Amino acid sequence: MAQTPAHRRGLLIILSSPSGAGKSTLAKRLRAWDEDISFSVSATTRKPRPGEVDGQDYNFVTVDSFKHDVAHGEMLEHAHVFGNFYGSPKAPVQEAINAGRDVLFDIDWQGAQQITNSDLGKHTLSIFLLPPSITELRRRLESRGQDDPETIQRRMQKSWDEISHWGSYDHVLINEDLDETEDNLRTIIKATRLRRIQQPTLIEHARHLQQEFDELT
Ligand code: ADP
Ligand code: 5GP
């Protein structure tokens, strides 16, 4: 039976890594690969960086508005990272996965843990990206040209906090060659979409098989 969106439940695909290991680059590539993958736009209380678009990269919100949404149960998960609040709004995720579309999360280990332990945990695929080396991680942060030296230093100092959680993810990829990592991500996603729990129409198909079997025997 063809795997059209109507025949499957969407996945919550979580990508975590230390800052600079390649999450946003790979998230963009995956979205370009398959339009059934949408991106969870997080809410954050941090200020936009140059070039970031409100509603696209993040929903930039005030601390009061963030706390209000958390208190009203509107966040699937939330965490305090680098001195700012970050959270994933629940409603768009529920809507997407019910319609058979996957949602990709670029979130830290705290958020990954909360989603994995939530009601939607069984539909979650978590992937951790490791850099080939710490030297290369620094080189990527510098070459990205987004942060001042102080911020880069802060991100480097925090990188071990994030890396130390690699062991609690379903899959761990060393992002050395970008094309190879993308290829591995596609393979993992394709295989996970075929998990029994992602295919709600299997029961109906098995029933039809049984009916046909009974008629023919
Ligand atoms: P993150 O979202 O995890 O902070 P980015 O996706 O912004 O990281 O990547 C950081 C920098 O490293 C970017 O300039 C990106 O182009 C580069 N990069 C990502 N993956 C690779 C790779 N496999 N090889 C070389 N450069 C990479
Ligand atoms: P940045 O400020 O560089 O965009 O993100 C900093 C860190 O916050 C990254 O590790 C990113 O994965 C994480 N992050 C971004 N959005 C969320 C979110 O909604 N929830 C959680 N838990 N972490 C997030």
40 pLDDT higher than 70: yes
52 pLDDT higher than 60: yes
What is the distance in A from the centroid of ligand 1 to the CA of 34? 20
Q: Tell me what pLDDT residue 4 has.
A: 47
Q: Tell me what pLDDT residue 121 has.
A: 95
Residue closest via CA to ligand 2's atom 11 equals 107
pLDDT digits (tens, 9 = 90+) for 186-201: 999 999 999 999 999 9
Residues with CB under 6 A from ligand 2: 19, 42, 46, 77, 79, 81-82, 86-88, 106-108, 110-111
CA–CA distance, 16 with 201 (Å, rounded to integer): 31
Q: Tell me what pLDDT residue 161 has.
A: 94
3 pLDDT higher than 70: no
Closest CA to 108 of 190, 204, 41, 19: 19
Q: Which amino acid makes up residue 159?
A: S
Helix (H), strand (E) at residue 22: none
Q: What pTM does this model have?
A: 0.93
What is the distance in A from the centroid of ligand 2 to the CA of 191? 27
- Which of 166 and 1 is assigned the larger pLDDT? 166
Specify the ligand 1 atom closest to the Cα of 21: 3
What is the distance in A from the centroid of ligand 1 to the CA of 43? 22
Q: Tell me what pLDDT residue 147 has.
A: 84
CA–CA distance, 68 with 62 (Å, rounded to integer): 10
Specify the ligand 2 atom closest to the Cα of 40: 19
Q: Tell me what pLDDT residue 36 has.
A: 95
- Looking at all shown ligands, the one closest to residue 179's CA atom is 1
- Looking at all shown ligands, the one closest to residue 106's CA atom is 2
- Counting Cα atoms < 13 Å in the Cβ hemisphere of 23 gives 21
CA–CA distance, 29 with 46 (Å, rounded to integer): 25
pLDDT digits (tens, 9 = 90+) for 139-175: 999 998 888 899 899 999 999 999 999 999 999 999 9
1 pLDDT higher than 80: no
Q: Tell me what pLDDT residue 5 has.
A: 44
The stretches of 11-98 forming alpha helices (DSSP H) are 23-33, 63-71, 91-98
Average pLDDT for 21-28: 95
Query: What are residue 75's DSSP bridge partners?
Result: 89
* 114 contacts 77 by C-beta, under 8 angstroms: yes
Out of 1.10.287.610, 3.40.50.300, 2.60.40.10, 3.40.50.2300, the CATH code matching 5-40+102-216 is 3.40.50.300
Measure the CA dihedral 116/198/70/129, to 10°. Answer: 50
- Looking at all shown ligands, the one closest to residue 140's CA atom is 1
β-strands 12-16, 37-39 pairing:
unpaired
The mean pLDDT of the chain is 94
Q: Tell me what pLDDT residue 194 has.
A: 96
pLDDT digits (tens, 9 = 90+) for 76-128: 999 998 889 999 999 999 999 989 999 999 999 999 999 999 999 999 999 99
Q: Tell me what pLDDT residue 50 has.
A: 83
| Phi, psi at 125, each rounded to 5° | -125, 115
What is the distance in A from the centroid of ligand 1 to the CA of 176? 10
What residue ranges do the domains of the chain occupy? 5-40+102-216
What is the distance in A from the centroid of ligand 2 to the CA of 4? 31
Q: Is 144 in the pocket of ligand 1 (CB under 6 A)?
A: yes
Q: Tell me what pLDDT residue 145 has.
A: 85
Q: Is 25 in the pocket of ligand 1 (CB under 6 A)?
A: yes
Lowest average pLDDT, out of 79-83, 99-103, 134-138, 206-210, goes to: 79-83
- Looking at all shown ligands, the one closest to residue 107's CA atom is 2
The stretches of 11-88 forming alpha helices (DSSP H) are 23-33, 63-71
